[in-house]
Structures are given as C-alpha cells and as structure tokens.
A and B are shown apart, each in its own frame.
Chain A
Amino acid sequence: MNKENLKVMQEDNLKVLLEKLGLLEDLNNGKIKCKFCKSEVLFDDIYGVFPESGSVKIVCNKPECILQLMEYLRKGKTNK
C-alpha cells in the first residue's frame, strides 16, 4: 500500500520550533492570527503550521479553518 506522510509534532517540540521561528512570544501575547479566520490564536488553539512565501502560517483548530486548510492544500497539490 502506498503511504502518504503526515508530519506531526508533539506539543513540547512544537513550542521549541515556534521559538526558533521567533513566534512563541507573539503567540503567548495573542498577536498571532489564524491564516483563515484571522482570529487570535493561542498555543492551545493551534491545529498546524506551515511555511508559505517565506513566512510561517498558523491554522487554528476550528473545523471550518481545518477544512479550509485542506482545500488550500488540495489546490496547492493540484498546481504542483
């Protein structure tokens, strides 16, 4: 069976990565917004992160945003 990789990160490790990306402080101060719904995102609200055009995009765990993310990724895969 062909398998698709699904990259995941444990919470503690994600915090380390966000610090390296220079986002942890802003995240703790409520300055980071979800790519799709534009609402404030705290660490507990994060669904996933991905790079785009040199910056880091964060997606919150609202169902609508997750589905929008999947649609966004689907279009991205199609365009490759």
Chain B
Amino acid sequence: MEEVLVSLFKYISLPIATFIFGCYVVYINPEKAQIWASYIYRVLSILNKKYRVYATTNDIEGRINHFAKNLSTQVIEHEPVGVKIVYVDADTTKEQFFENNELIIKMYDSGNNNKNFVYATMAFISTTTLPRAKKYISKSQRESIDLFIAKKLFEEEKPQVAEQFFQDFFSPKLESGEKISELIETYTVIDKAGLFFPIFINELVYLGQKVFFKKKAENIIAEVTSLISFLRQRSLRTVGDETAQSVFQGIYCSCAVVLVGKRLKRLSKDSRLYMNYIKKLVNRKVDSIYLIGPTEEGNNQFISDIGKGIEDTFNYYKTYEKQCKATIRGNDAKLVSTENYLVLYRNPNVTNIIDGIYYTENIEPYSKDDSIIGLSE
C-alpha cells in the first residue's frame, strides 16, 4: 500500500493523486466516507437549511453501517445488514400510505439530532438483530440483547449520543424490569471477557437457523439462560482458578465451550487430555466446539494442536479463529487486560431441521441431563 501511494504521488499530480486516493478510501470504507460527508453537510447547513437532511441521513447511516460491518468480524455467521434512511416527503397521499404499509418514524428538526439518532437506531437494531433466534428466546432476553447492542453501538460510534440513549431508553428500562437489568449487567461482564459476540451471539445465530418441529420453548429459554450463566461464570473467574466449570454443552444451543487454560495441562502440551471429553461431545453430535484459552506460554499452538486433533479425528472443520482482548481477574482479584485465542470447529453434519425422529434420538435422552449446565474437568 505504501509503495502504491508513493508511486501515485510520484508520477501523478498532487490534486489528482489525492482525488484517486480519496475515491479509494470511499470505496473500501463507504461508511466512514458517509460520516465525513455528514460533517461537511452540517457546515453547509449553516448556509442552507436543506443540507440538514443530508447531514442527519449520512450521520445515522454511516455510523450504524460502520458498526454493522465491524460486528461481522466478531460474529462469524453474521451477514452484515445495514440501514438506508428513506425520507418520505409531504407529497405522499393517503392511499400511498396504506399501500406501502410501513412504519414511518418521525424525525425531529435540527437541535434534536441525538434523539433522531437514538430513535432510528433502536428501530434498526430491534428489527435486524437476530431476527430468527428471537423466535426462540424470552422477551426479556430479546429486549436486553437489543438494549446492550444499542449501548455498544452508541458508545463506539457516537459517545455523545450515549447520554441521550441512557436518558430516554436505557435507564427507564432498567428501572422497570429487574430481569433485564440483571441480564444487561451479565452481558457487560461477558463482553469484557471477550465472549459476548464471538460465542453468545454467534450461538444465537446458529439457534436461529434451526427449525424445531417439536419445540419446547421453555427448554430453549432455559438453555440460553444456562449458556449466559456459564459464560458469566467463566468471565468472572480468577486467573489460576481451576474449580470453575470449563465446559458448557447444550442441546438446542448445540455448542460446547472448552477452556484450554489449566496451566499444568497447557505446559504438558498433551492434547489427549482434552481429546477424551471432546470425544464425548462429538458422540453427542454437538454442532460447534469452541476452544478458548489465554495467548500465553505457547497456548495458541497448544489450542491449534487440539484443534488439529478435532479435525483429523472427528472431521470437524475450523470455521473461525480470532484473538480477542479480554479483561479478567488476576490473582489479586484486580482486573487485568489479557488476550484470548478463540477457535471454532463445526460439525460437518449439522442438522437444522429438528424433527420428531431427531428429537427422540438426539435430544430427549439428554433433555434431563444435568450435564447440560456444564462438566467439571
């Protein structure tokens, strides 16, 4: 890239080179370009009010779409969905309103741009986040996920709007429902440990891909609750704590999260120690196996070795690997920043149509099993 830039400015005149470079930046990052455009329109709107609309539109679209694009790097199965703000003009007739059959959101005039941003974002997140998985989870789980993701969006994309969101949405909702408040607090904990999007949200995406002929809603909700509890427990553990459960295995959320962290096992570099109970997981036909562990003392390589064993022995395939920042408790219970290495292996024979036969053979035998909560090593 550097060489290209140097060549560009060497052989072409500066204005043309700058223009070409600008076009390239817009092409690879249109969301950022929209945000910059919104600043320009904001300035122009001082001269002519008609530019306010363009400023608001580009601001909202650019920031939401930038967040959606980043989300797709954290949630492997997430197909990024962006937003296009469509202004309905005053020429719209009564007949067109009924024919279009769509919600129209009121946009406040300038001076209330923060409100516009918050209200548009809430509409977008509620309708586009996990649309399929939301069929299976509880109302409080749905609402808390939307609120948490919205909070993340505002904090990352436009912190000055976050206060409007907290004032208008977040605080009133937290005050009204203890369950939602607890869930959001838990998501915050899980997210700090780097597990919220790559594991929890990813698994909800997979859950949404399934069709359950014989759905027991309360069982699915209970299992999602268990997954949240497990991830919370993992996120709060202290470095060196070897008493906490290290495996979660679900039926509806057919996933296993295996922590490759125990120091003695890491240092032994003997992957067979993990392969034995991974075999049990494979026998129960789990769809996803997440290996996660700290990136220290050659643990990445150890995790990769275990993963190679999963691939060679059980034909699961690597779908995703990522190093993610995490904040965990050190030995003195103080928070420390660290990095985890996460790899996801998927069953090549995932069944998404869960009919009566599949349910009887693969779900019912384990539906009362306590091990659904987690197994200690």
Contact = CB atoms under 8 A, between A and B. Distances in A.
26 contacts: A1-B69, A2-B82, A4-B82, A5-B84, A6-B83, A8-B120, A10-B53, A11-B107, A11-B108, A12-B90, A13-B88, A14-B104, A14-B106, A47-B106, A49-B106, A50-B101, A54-B98, A56-B97, A61-B168, A63-B168, A63-B169, A64-B172, A64-B176, A74-B127, A77-B127, A78-B131
Given A14-B104, A61-B119, A73-B103, A8 B90 contact: no
B123 A70 contact: yes
A46 interface: yes
Nearest to B172: A63
B108 A8 contact: no
Contacts, number: 146
Contacts of A1: 65, 68-69, 80-82
A71 B140 CA distance: 11
B88 A8 contact: yes
A73 B122 contact: no
A37 interface: no
A66 B93 CA distance: 25
Interface of B: 53, 65, 68-69, 79-90, 92-94, 97-98, 100-109, 116, 119-120, 122-124, 126-128, 131, 134-135, 139, 142-143, 146, 168-169, 172-173, 176
Contacts of A66: 119, 122-123, 169
Going nearest first, the 10 A-B pairs with the smallest beta carbon separation are A70-B126, A13-B90, A16-B90, A50-B103, A3-B84, A3-B82, A48-B105, A1-B82, A63-B169, A8-B107
Nearest to A70: B126
A64 B170 CA distance: 10
A52 to B, nearest CB: 9
Contacts of A70: 122-123, 126-127, 146
Contact of B85 (A8, A13, A47, A63): A8
Nearest to B65: A1
Interface residues of A, number: 39
Interface string A3-29: 111111111111011001100000000
A17 to B, nearest CB: 6
A50 B104 contact: yes
A18 B249 CA distance: 54
A9 B108 CA distance: 9
A5 to B, nearest CB: 5
Contacts of A48: 103-106, 123
Contacts of A12: 90, 109
A4 B127 contact: yes
A76 to B, nearest CB: 10
B93 A7 contact: no
B224 to A, nearest CB: 17
Interface hub of A6, A49, A77 (most chain B Cβ within 10 A)? A6
A9 B107 contact: yes
A18 to B, nearest CB: 10
A66 B118 CA distance: 11
A6 to B, nearest CB: 5
Contacts of B131: 74, 77-78
Nearest to B142: A71
A8 B104 contact: yes
Nearest to A48: B105
A72 B189 CA distance: 30
